[in-house]
């Protein structure tokens, strides 16, 4: 069964080729949009990346071209119109699990980097400027760390925080007993915002969590807090975040995701620049570090994602569903 994969990164190409070798995979580095959907004609299986666009129109084009399975190489699926997929008779599967350590470790990488001003320090050193002016950070030990969302990734983030010797606060619809065993205290969101020195987001993007960190939430945070988002860009109101930073608030911000990252992240814009003024402004702040949705991008996690994708394809061919199936086979 022929497979067409969109948005394939060069580092994952050999892994995908090996895992899907039996299915004649065609791997593209372009993203799935209405313009590129016709490339999938004749391919029963399309594998999508997190920044592909699978709205109702794109799904209709895929279905008309003979596609029957959408195999998303990601946990999130907010880029897929599941109702439209069901109406078109498409099966949709995702990767419900991969290494939570990858994302949690990257979240702490961002927090530590902005706290200790590492980007500014490295840039100075490249110019042989070894002054310490403006590089003073703070001890993580003794800080209060707030974790918004204490599932698998939030729990891993909390375990690292506990190792630093921090006070742990959590917010979730249901407490995680493993986090409570670390000494985490669950509080209301407003209290968590007000008390956290480091605030890290680990909730899915849903209607209820869209712009969870909005202008009001940012105003409740400590003026010298560190905000980290390695989950989904839509959790943070980026315009309000720019206003907050312009007002001189927040000591650091680490972002691995951005609400309008599609068609920007995973691409080379070094020659052309970007037209997104909000993202450009965020990147310009010295206390802000933006990475291109790479928190998941470790050999362990990518290997697990590809293995799960291959299993999703195999199960579909055999007429089975599994725990990764979002829209079952009709």
What residues are labeled active site?
232, 261, 293
> Do residues 306 and 16 lie in contact, with contact meaning Cβ atoms separated by under 8 Å?
yes
- What pairs with residue 169 in β-bridges? 146, 185
Coil vs helix vs strand at 91: strand
For 189-247, the DSSP string reads HHHHHHH-SEEEE-----TTTTTSB-HHHHHHS-TT-EEEE-S-GGGB-HHHHHHHHHT
> Do residues 193 and 214 lie in contact, with contact meaning Cβ atoms separated by under 8 Å?
no
Instruction: Report, in angstroms and rounded to the nearest whole number, the Rg of the chain calculated over CA atoms.
Output: 21
Q: CA-CA distance, 110 to 100, in Å (whole number)?
A: 16
**Which tokens sit at 286?**
């010295």
């Amino acid at each position: 069964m022929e497979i067409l994969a969109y948005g394939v990164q060069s580092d994952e190409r050999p892994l995908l080729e090996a895992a899907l070798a039996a299915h004649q995979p065609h791997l593209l580095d372009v993203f799935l949009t209405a313009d590129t959907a016709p490339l999938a004609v004749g391919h029963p299986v399309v594998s999508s990346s997190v920044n592909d666009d699978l709205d109702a129109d794109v799904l209709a084009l895929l279905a008309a071209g003979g596609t029957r399975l959408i195999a998303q190489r990601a946990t999130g699926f907010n880029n897929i119109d599941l109702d439209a997929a069901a109406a078109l008779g498409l099966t949709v599967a995702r990767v419900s699990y991969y290494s939570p350590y990858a994302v949690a470790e990257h979240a702490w990488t961002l927090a530590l980097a902005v706290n200790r001003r590492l980007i500014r320090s490295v840039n100075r050193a490249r110019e042989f400027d070894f002054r310490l002016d403006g590089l003073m950070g703070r001890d993580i030990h003794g800080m209060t760390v707030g974790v918004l969302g204490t599932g698998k990734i939030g729990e891993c983030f909390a375990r690292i925080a506990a190792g630093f010797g921090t006070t742990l606060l959590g917010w979730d619809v249901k407490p995680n007993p493993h986090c409570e065993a670390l000494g985490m205290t669950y509080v209301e969101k407003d209290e968590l915002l007000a008390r956290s020195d480091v605030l890290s987001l680990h909730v899915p993007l849903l209607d209820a969590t869209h712009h969870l960190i909005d202008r009001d939430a940012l105003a409740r945070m400590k003026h010298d807090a560190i905000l980290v988002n390695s989950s989904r860009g839509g959790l943070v109101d980026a315009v309000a975040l720019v206003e907050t930073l312009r007002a001189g608030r927040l000591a650091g911000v680490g972002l691995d995701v951005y609400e309008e990252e599609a068609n920007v992240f995973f691409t080379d814009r070094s020659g052309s620049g970007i037209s997104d003024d909000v993202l450009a402004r965020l990147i310009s702040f010295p206390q802000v570090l933006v990475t291109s949705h790479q928190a998941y991008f470790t050999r362990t996690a990518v290997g697990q994602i590809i293995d799960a994708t291959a299993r999703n394809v195999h199960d579909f061919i055999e007429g089975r569903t599994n725990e990764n199936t979002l829209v079952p086979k009709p």
